[in-house]
Every structure is written in C-alpha cells, then in structure tokens.
C-alpha cells in the first residue's frame, strides 16, 4: 500500500499519460474544469505527450454533415457525381479530440460520438452517400465543472477517466512526471500486464458499492489499472494501481459513498488470512471481503482533504443531474432540423440543397447540352432546378409546476394539488411537453424534477413530496426564474403553474418573518415577471385571500381561486386559463 | 465484420438474446424493441446477431435480394418480369444499420445522380430499405429518430413495400425487414405507432451482482486483448446456435398449433385489453417460433407463457402515469389465466 498521498495534479498528470497510452480502449476523459490556465496547461500536457501537433476541437454546434462527412460540394459539382467528403470524426481517426462545452452538445452529436467510441467506425447514409468511415477517436469531453450542467450521461458513461481540475489552483500545478518515451515503453509492456482475479473482483465489487450502474466504468477501471502498472514499469497489477483506477475512474462516477463512519469490526485483520478467500468470488456486494474494504479505505485515505466532502454532496446530486439535463439535449429540435427539400429561390434566403438541385437538373443535361451546342460543359443548372432545404423550427415547451408544500398550504390541499398536477401531466404527455417540478417548504425551494419527458419520473417525484413547514416563497420564485431563463436560452417556451396560498413567511436570507418574507416574495415576483413567460397562480387557500391575488398581479400572471375544488375541476380551470 | 463480439459470449441478457433469436427464426413476427439503460450491451448484442444469421438464396445482382424460389408477390419488378430462371447465389441475411442523422433520400432511395448526369437516364438508386429487404434493419436510439424518417419507416414496415414517388421516379419495391430498435427510455418516449410495429420488446437491465460483473470484465478483457482468438474460442457455440436457428427456420411450418393455444392467446389479450389483433397473432407466431427453436413439434402453453411478456409488454393500453411495470401486469393476468386453465 502506498503511503504518500498523490496530489490532485499528480492524478491529472497520470490521467494525461494514461489517455495517451490507452485512450482508445477507455474512450477518453471527461474533463471537468472551468477555462483557465490550469485547464490549458493540462491540455498542453496531453498534447505534448501525444506528439500531435495540436488537439482538434469539435465545436458544440458542428453540423451533422461536417461531423460525419457528407457530400463534397466542389468535387461533386466538378465531377458531376456525388463525391463523399470525410467528416471531422473520420479525420480524427486514431487521434485525440476535444469536445469543448460538451454539456452543450446536441443529442445527435452525442450519439455519433458514442458510436465512434463504441465501434471505432461510423456508417454514414446521407446526401446520396452510403459508406463506412474509420473513426477510432480518443475523446476529451470538457464541461465547465459546474453542478448544474453536465455532459450527457450516454457520453460520460463511455469516457473511462474523469479529471476534475476545479479545485486545483495555478499554484497546485506541479512538475511533469512523464515523458513520451515512458509512454512508449509502457505501451510495449501493456499487453503483458497481468491482472489477478482478486483485483477484478475488487473492481467489480467497488463499482457496485459505489452505486455505479453501468458496467463500462468497471471495464475502464481494469484497463486503467493495467495502464497504471505499465506506466509504473511493472508487469503485474498491484493495489496501488487499483487505487489509481479507483480515483480516476470509479469515485468520480460514484452515486453513493460507502458508509465510512462505521468503525471497522475487525480493527487489525491479517491480510495473509484473506488469501484463500480470493479463490472464489463473493456472492453479493453485502459480503464485501475485507480486501475490497481495505482497498477502498486506502484509496479514500489517499484522497486530498475536502474532496471527500465535495464528493458526498455530489453523490447526492449525481443521479438527478446526470439525467436532468436531458431537456437541454433536445435542443436540436428547437434550432430547426432539416426535414425535407423544396423547389425555391435561393435569393430569398434559405440554404441550397446541392443534392436535390443536382437531382432536379440531372435528367435535363443531355437536352440542355444539345440546346446549347456546347458538349464540353459538364453541368448546366438553371434557376428552376434550385432546391432549398426545409427546416422545421419546432418550439419545445416546458410546463413548470411550482408547488407550495408548506404547512399553511395544508396537507389536504397538497394532495389536491398533486392530483391536479398528475392530470396536467397526462395533458403534457399528449402534447409531448417537457415537465419540471419545483417544491418549496421550510427553508428552501428545490428543483425536484429537472425538465424531462418522462412522466413516470414526474409522478415519482410528486408522490415523494412531503408537506409541512414554512413558506419560502421568494426562494421558489427565484428558482423558477432560473429555470425559465435557462429554458428560454435553449429556445424553449415555458409556462409555470404556481400552486400556493400566497402566505410567504421566509425571507431570502432564511429568516422566518412574515413581513420580510412577503417583501422578498414580491421583489422576486417582479424579477420573474420580467421574463417572457406565461404564469398561472392557483390559490389553494381554504378562503381566498388578497395576498395570492397580489402575488399573481405582481407576476402579471393569471389568477384562479379554487377554494374547494377537486383535482378534476382544478385541471379543467387550468386548461381553460392556459389554453 | 470478423471483429464483432460473439453473440453467444454476451454475458447474461437472456431475454434479449432469445427475442432476437426468435425474430431470426420467424421474420414475420415483426421485429424487436430493446429498451434499457446505458451499458447493458444493447448494441453489442444486436450487432453480434449479424454474424450468426444463416445464409439465404438470392437472385444474383438483384438490389433487393429477391428470393429465387418465390413467385409473385414479394418480388421486385425486374425479378417478377423476368421469364428466365434466375441465377442463384447465396448471401448472409443482411443486417443494415440505419444511423441517426440519415437523410430521407438514403433511407428510401432516390434518383441516381451519376447515371442521370452521364447517360441522362432516370435510374433509381436504392436506399437502406432496399438493402434491408429480407434482412434486419437496426436503428440505435430509435426514440431519437427524426419524425419524417419514422413516418417513412412506419408505412414501409406495415406494407412490406417501399413506394418512392420523387424526382420524377415512380418506383415500388419489396422491403420486408425485421425492425430492431434500441434506446434508453429515459431520453424520450417512442411514438406509439412505431412501438406497435415491433413484435417483441425486451427490457434490459445492468446486472448488479459481482460474479456477473467480473465475468463481463473478464470477457471484455479477453476480447480486447486478442479479438480473433476470442472469436475462435466461441466459434463452436456460435455455429451451434446458427445451426439451431437454421433448423428452426426449416421446421417452423410444421410446428403444430393446437386450438387451445389460440384460445388462450385470445383470452390473454382480452384480459389485458390490448389494442387490435396484432398482439394475438404475434403471440401465437412467437410461441411457434420458440417451439421450433427448442425442437418441439407442437407449440404449447408453456411456450406461450414464457414469451407472452415480451409480446405484450409494449401493447398494454397506456396509462402514462401508471407506474406498475407492464411486466407485472402481464404476469398477473397470466397467472390468473393459467390457474383457471388448471381447474
């Protein structure tokens, strides 16, 4: 067991070396870092170790035709037949590429990256071209490392190593450890590295203990452990290599942390006694042999201080956030997708579809050639032939439910509100809207369900919603504004439905004070009203009070009082008001 | 591809493997929908199927792989018109990938520009649907497919024929394929019409026990280290399964279907309130295919019972808010029905 604690930068340096050694086997690196000198330096290290002259970058808004390849315009026109142009993924075959702002990649781009990572090749069937391209890439998907925005889970799942540079300051950057020769030597050694069954079992067990569903993480961890051994100049994988794999591959993907607070039942186990146990794999994750315990503990002990706590907060969020950004990844539909072609005049705007234009022009060519008496001219295209691409600008819409679950809104009303939301959900399903759910009680407002189309998840989130406590209205409205803002940046139209009795009694700073609470709520309401959004306030008080109406007025939203309504009437009213 | 991961080496996921094998035995069942989380081996398994499929006779240089033994209908125009005996050749049943981001012209086919420009003739350049005739069409992330591509698929999958009316072309050609789709349901729902086109559906989950995980790691490691050696090690199992599929295809027509099987299928669908007849028909066909695969001469209630969840899971009338999984509902009705039968 190693006793020295590797620094965060040392881990990052190892990751850079491993990426170069075996990036194609583990997909690549999920880089979490805000832009800055540390990130630049790390990327610099990757490039230096790779020997590539530069690392190519895939922009988030790359068109599909450029990413995959498609028709080569110039060559096609010149030769009079479709000529394929190799796409960016094909050009980057056996190279390291960066997807900067990977959290912004449209879902389709994510898919193509995933296929390239899985198969090392792409099949392309577009614009008259039908071909296979080799595209074995090593990907660095960089996001800004914030908690709200994550790269798509399908992508992060395929990237074996996670590097987090967020907590490394410029002074945290240390001396280089590796050079290219070392990597080449490790490469020569790599295929002969021996992993014992015990180590495989350890990694499988640890990945389950850490609540990692996908087996890909464990597969990558084994590879990384081998790579680490190769880099260290060994022929067998040792505990320290497993610890390295654990730090780079498994812990960053952890959805739960094992309970470390519990004291060890056997304070001093003799490691030799464990040897026979390694022969047979353990049956379940509960019967974790002390071997894994020991490893996990050793690794956790190696982690720099503060990181653990950071992980713990992240572990709680990771499930929610990984799937939560799915709303953002449907952006391609909002930006307009090519959905067909039509004959049109390109001078009025619009994008000429070369292929359709050629198809329209093709049958006339012999005739036109004869007409002109100019047999040398290969291609003659007339205005009538011009075809434009039709884009569909589909506006995505989001219905955001903001539910007051405080004590004043009373349990029974909460049940009714839940019922109404459920009925509305069914409506959203028909319209294929996204839904999101904010609940507020006690000190905080919480985004229980980020925008999603999964109604089952919406329902689960709703059912789990507890009631009681104070009413932090201002916080709820601010959170609503955040979500609305984020959604509108992605071109999504949002409407929110606020179910409350309007009795705000928690100020923004968390103090319980009716006056301050109401004042803050009205200020927050004014801020929200500036957003281009339709709001609906449903007064759930037993006896409607002016305060909910005041709130609705400030929000410039529609107000509906429903002193005694069951879920169905509530639903009807909402439909009438929002329709 | 000789470097594909062997089908029989996929660890676990028996439901998915069985559904795909059944679809290979009887293409008329209508395809397989595989839904599941990340990292469950969906695409690996489906792509592995290609290496396992038996060979079929086709008319030489027919772009639609017409069957030389078949007479009308189901042949392309050229093969139907030809009076001479067609020249036969064999090929492995095609598995065609429909990648996300495909354009409509490549899916349904379009005017062949080169020939139009050079010879001035209007020729049809067949698309992916033509290539997939008599084979498999695989759509990864089927729930993210563009709406207008889905529209094209729906129509063709229902009629078994691709009709192209564009750029002055008027073409129809057979396009009977087994549609295989996979996707992660968390990322969006599948259009109900498309869902209905699939004969079988399976839910795949990641295995959560250590021994299976270790087995996955070990298998993958061995595969990555030396792909051809790994394939060689599995070659015997692969060819056994291939022969089994081949035999089942031949035996399919002679599998007996007792009357009580039809009756039970009807009762089951009625009790579950599935829409339309499709469920019933698929249920019987799948039971027969399963019997053929197992080498049984008669399709029994046992066959029906074991395949019913896959057939009916995605056909239950949808209550978008009902959390109780479709599987549980199907199993409940089955157990009710079968205790009745036993009395």
Would you call B146 and A191 a contact, using CB atoms and an 8 Å cutoff? no
Provide the angle, in degrees to the nearest 10, between the axes of the packed helices B227-251 and B278-294. 110
How is residue B100 written in tokens?
């996300």
Residue whose entry in the numeric block shows the structure tokens 């009373």 = A410
Q: Which of A87, A213, A245, A359 to mutate to test the interface with B (most CBs of B within 10 A)?
A: A359
Q: Is the dihedral of CA A238, A241, A247, A250 positive or negative?
A: negative
> Which percentage of chain B shows pLDDT scores above 90?
25
Is pLDDT of A321 > 60?
no
Beta-carbon contacts of residue B258 (< 8 Å; ≥ 6 apart)? B298, B299, B300
pLDDT class for A562, splitting at 50, 70, 90?
Answer: low
Residue A490 vs residue B320, higher pLDDT = A490
Q: Nearest CA of chain B to the CA of A191: how many Å?
A: 7
How many interchain CB pairs under 8 A, A with B? 187
Q: Is B37 on the interface with A (CB under 8 A)?
A: yes
Lowest-pLDDT range of A212-216, A224-228, A473-477, B339-343: B339-343
A 296-355 residues with CB below 8 A of B?
Answer: 323, 326, 329-330, 337-340, 355
Task: Answer yes or no: are the C-beta atoms of B277 and B30 closer than 8 Å.
Answer: no
Q: Which of B43, B113, B183 to mutate to test the interface with A (most CBs of A within 10 A)?
A: B113
Residue whose entry in the numeric block shows the structure tokens 């606020």 = A498
Is pLDDT of A329 > 70?
no
Provide the angle, in degrees to the nearest 10, between the axes of the packed helices B210-225 and B227-251. 110
pLDDT class for A227, splitting at 50, 70, 90?
Answer: very high
Q: Is B213 on the interface with A (CB under 8 A)?
A: yes
Q: Nearest CA of chain B to the CA of A361: how many Å?
A: 8
Would you call B122 and A204 a contact, using CB atoms and an 8 Å cutoff? no
Would you call A218 and B105 a contact, using CB atoms and an 8 Å cutoff? no
Q: What is the pLDDT at residue B248?
A: 94
pLDDT digits (tens, 9 = 90+) for B101-145: 788 888 888 887 777 777 767 788 888 999 999 999 999 888 888
Q: Kindly list the residues from chain A whose CB atom is less than 8 angstroms away from the CB atom of residue B120.
A: 362-363, 365-367
Is pLDDT of A319 > 80?
no
Active-site positions of B read 278
Q: What is the pLDDT at residue A258?
A: 59
- Kindly identify which residue of chain B lies nearest to residue A343, measuring between CA atoms: B167
- The end-to-end CA distance of chain A, in Å, is 66
Q: Is A111 on the interface with B (CB under 8 A)?
A: yes
Residue B229 vs residue A542, higher pLDDT = B229
Is pLDDT of B289 > 90?
yes
> Whole-prediction pTM value?
0.68
pLDDT digits (tens, 9 = 90+) for B163-200: 888 777 888 899 999 999 998 877 767 777 788 789 89
Which one of A337, A359, A378 has the shortest CB-CB distance to B167? A359
pLDDT digits (tens, 9 = 90+) for A470-510: 888 888 888 999 888 888 777 677 888 888 877 788 877 77
Q: Kindly list the residues from chain B whose CB atom is less than 8 angstroms away from the CB atom of residue A571.
A: none
Which one of B102, B147, B214 has the shortest CB-CB distance to A204? B214
- ipTM, two decimals, is 0.71
Q: Cite the beta strand spans of B284-329 per DSSP E.
A: none
Is pLDDT of A3 > 90?
no
Burial class (CB in 10 A: 0-12, 13-18, 19+), A112: buried
Q: Kindly list the residues from chain A whose CB atom is less than 8 angstroms away from the CB atom of residue B211.
A: 281, 283
Q: Nearest CA of chain B to the CA of A204: how many Å?
A: 6
What phi, psi does A146 have (nearest 5°)?
A: -85, 165
Q: Nearest CA of chain B to the CA of A128: how many Å?
A: 6
Q: Which of B2, B10, B37, B39 to mutate to test the interface with A (most CBs of A within 10 A)?
A: B39
Would you call B214 and A207 a contact, using CB atoms and an 8 Å cutoff? no
Query: Cα(A465)–Cα(A455) distance, rounded to whole angstroms?
Result: 15
Pairing relationship of beta strands B136-140 and B161-166 according to DSSP bridges: unpaired
3-class DSSP string for A462-513:
HHCCCCCCCCCHHHHHHHHHHHHHHHHHCCEEEEEEEEECCCCCECCCCCEC
Query: Cα(B26)–Cα(B249) distance, rounded to whole angstroms?
Result: 7
**Helices and strands (DSSP H and E) totals, chain A:** 22, 17
CA A187-A193-A198 angle, 5° bins: 145
Q: Is B148 on the interface with A (CB under 8 A)?
A: yes
**Average confidence (pLDDT) over A305-313:** 45
> Which percentage of chain B shows pLDDT scores above 70?
93
pLDDT class for B6, splitting at 50, 70, 90?
Answer: very high
Q: Kindly list the residues from chain B whose CB atom is less than 8 angstroms away from the CB atom of residue A358.
A: 113, 117
Q: Kindly list the residues from chain A whose CB atom is less than 8 angstroms away from the CB atom of residue B45.
A: none
Q: Please provide the DSSP assignment of A291-305 as one string.
A: HHHHHHHHHHHHSPT
**What is the overall mean pLDDT for chain A?**
75
Distances, alpha carbon A557 to alpha carbons A128, A408, A477, A533, A574, in Å: 51, 22, 13, 9, 12
How is residue A412 written in tokens?
């029974």
Distances, alpha carbon A569 to alpha carbons A421, A427, A563, B132, B330, in Å: 12, 14, 11, 52, 34
Would you call A153 and B38 a contact, using CB atoms and an 8 Å cutoff? yes
Query: Cα(B166)–Cα(B171) distance, rounded to whole angstroms?
Result: 9
A 449-478 residues with CB below 8 A of B?
Answer: 452-457, 459-460
Which one of A126, A323, A422 has the shortest CB-CB distance to B103? A126
Q: Is A55 on the interface with B (CB under 8 A)?
A: no
Beta-carbon contacts of residue B177 (< 8 Å; ≥ 6 apart)? B27, B96, B129, B132, B133, B134, B135, B136, B137, B157
Q: What is the pLDDT at residue A272?
A: 39
């Amino acid at each position: 067991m190693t006793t020295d604690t590797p620094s965060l930068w040392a881990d990052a340096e190892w990751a850079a070396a491993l990426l170069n050694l075996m990036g194609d086997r583990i997909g690549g690196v999920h880089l979490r870092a805000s832009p800055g000198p540390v990130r630049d330096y790390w990327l610099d290290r990757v490039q230096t170790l790779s020997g590539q002259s530069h690392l190519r970058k895939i922009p988030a808004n790359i068109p599909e035709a450029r990413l995959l390849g498609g028709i080569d315009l110039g060559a096609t026109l010149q030769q009079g037949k479709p000529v394929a142009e190799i796409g960016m993924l094909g050009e980057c075959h056996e190279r390291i590429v960066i997807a900067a702002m990977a959290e912004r990649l449209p879902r389709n781009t994510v898919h193509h990256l995933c296929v390239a990572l899985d198969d090392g090749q792409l099949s392309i069937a577009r614009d008259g071209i039908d071909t296979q391209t080799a595209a074995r890439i090593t990907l660095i998907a960089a996001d800004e490392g914030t908690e709200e925005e994550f790269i798509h889970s399908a992508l992060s799942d395929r990237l074996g190593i996670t590097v987090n540079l967020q907590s490394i300051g410029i002074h945290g950057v240390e001396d280089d450890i590796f050079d290219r020769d070392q990597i080449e030597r490790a490469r020569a050694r790599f295929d002969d590295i021996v992993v014992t069954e015990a180590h495989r079992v350890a990694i499988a067990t640890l990945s389950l203990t850490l609540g990692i569903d996908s087996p890909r993480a464990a597969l990558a961890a084994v590879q990384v452990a081998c790579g680490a051994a190769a880099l260290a100049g060994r022929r067998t994988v040792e505990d320290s290599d497993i610890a390295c794999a654990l730090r780079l591959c498994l812990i960053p993907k952890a959805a739960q942390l094992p309970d470390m607070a519990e004291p060890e039942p056997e304070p001093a186990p003799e490691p030799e006694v464990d040897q026979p146990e390694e022969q047979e794999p353990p049956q379940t994750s509960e019967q974790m042999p002390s071997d894994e315990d020991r490893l996990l503990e050793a690794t956790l002990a190696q982690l720099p201080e503060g990181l653990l706590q950071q992980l713990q907060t992240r572990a709680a969020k990771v499930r929610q956030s990984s799937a939560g950004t799915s709303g953002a990844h449907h952006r391609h539909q909002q930006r307009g997708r090519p959905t067909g072609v039509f004959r049109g005049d390109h001078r009025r705007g619009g994008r000429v579809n070369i292929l359709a234009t050629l198809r329209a022009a093709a049958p006339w060519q012999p005739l036109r050639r004869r007409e002109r008496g100019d047999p040398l001219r290969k291609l003659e295209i007339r205005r009538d032939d011009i075809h434009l691409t039709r884009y569909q600008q589909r506006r995505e819409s989001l219905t955001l439910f903001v539910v007051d679950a405080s004590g004043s809104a009373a349990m029974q009303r909460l049940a009714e509100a839940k019922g109404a939301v459920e009925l509305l959900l069914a409506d959203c399903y028909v319209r294929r809207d996204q839904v999101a759910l904010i609940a507020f009680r006690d000190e905080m407002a919480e985004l229980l369900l980020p925008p999603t189309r999964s109604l089952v998840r919406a329902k689960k989130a709703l059912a789990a919603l507890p009631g009681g406590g104070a009413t932090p209205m201002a916080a709820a409205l601010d959170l609503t504004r955040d979500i609305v803002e984020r959604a509108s940046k992605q071109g999504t139209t949002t409407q929110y439905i606020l179910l409350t009795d309007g009795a705000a009694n928690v100020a923004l700073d968390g103090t319980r004070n009716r006056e301050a609470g109401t004042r803050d709520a009205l200020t927050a309401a004014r801020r929200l009203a500036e957003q281009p959004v339709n709001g609906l306030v449903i007064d759930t008080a037993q006896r409607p009070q002016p305060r909910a109406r005041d709130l609705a007025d400030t929000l410039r939203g529609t107000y509906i009082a429903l002193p005694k309504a069951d879920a169905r009437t509530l639903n009807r009213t909402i439909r009438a008001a929002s329709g | 591809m000789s470097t594909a991961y062997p089908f029989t080496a996929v660890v676990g996921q028996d439901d998915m493997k069985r559904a795909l094998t059944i679809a290979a035995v009887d293409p008329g069942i209508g395809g397989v929908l595989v839904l599941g989380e990340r990292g469950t081996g969906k695409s690996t398994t489906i792509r592995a199927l290609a290496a396992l499929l038996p060979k079929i006779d086709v008319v030489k240089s027919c772009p639609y792989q017409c069957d030389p033994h078949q007479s009308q209908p189901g042949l392309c125009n050229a093969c139907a018109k030809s009076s001479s005996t067609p020249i036969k050749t064999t090929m492995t049943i095609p598995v065609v990938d429909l990648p996300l981001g495909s354009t409509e012209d490549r899916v349904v086919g379009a005017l062949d520009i080169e020939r139009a420009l050079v010879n001035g003739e209007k020729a049809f350049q067949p698309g992916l649907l033509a290539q997939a005739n008599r084979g498999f069409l695989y759509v990864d992330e089927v729930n993210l497919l563009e709406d207008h591509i889905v529209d094209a698929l729906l129509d063709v999958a229902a009629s078994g024929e691709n009709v192209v009316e564009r750029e002055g072309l008027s073409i129809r050609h057979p396009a009977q394929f087994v549609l295989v789709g996979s996707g992660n349901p968390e990322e969006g729902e599948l259009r109900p019409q498309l869902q209905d086109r699939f004969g079988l559906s399976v839910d795949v989950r990641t295995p959560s026990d250590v021994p299976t995980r270790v087995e996955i790691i070990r298998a993958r490691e061995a595969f990555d280290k030396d792909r051809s050696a790994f394939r060689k090690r599995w070659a015997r199992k692969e060819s056994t399964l291939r022969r089994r599929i081949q035999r089942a295809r031949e035996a399919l027509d002679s599998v007996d279907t007792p009357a009580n099987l039809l009756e039970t299928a009807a009762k089951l669908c009625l009790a579950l309130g599935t829409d339309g007849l499709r469920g019933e028909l698929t249920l019987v066909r799948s039971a027969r295919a399963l019997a053929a695969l197992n080498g049984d001469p008669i399709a029994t209630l046992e066959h029906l019972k074991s395949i019913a969840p896959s057939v009916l899971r995605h056909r239950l009338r949808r209550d978008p808010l009902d959390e109780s999984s479709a599987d549980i509902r199907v199993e409940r009705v089955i157990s009710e029905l079968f205790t009745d039968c036993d009395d």
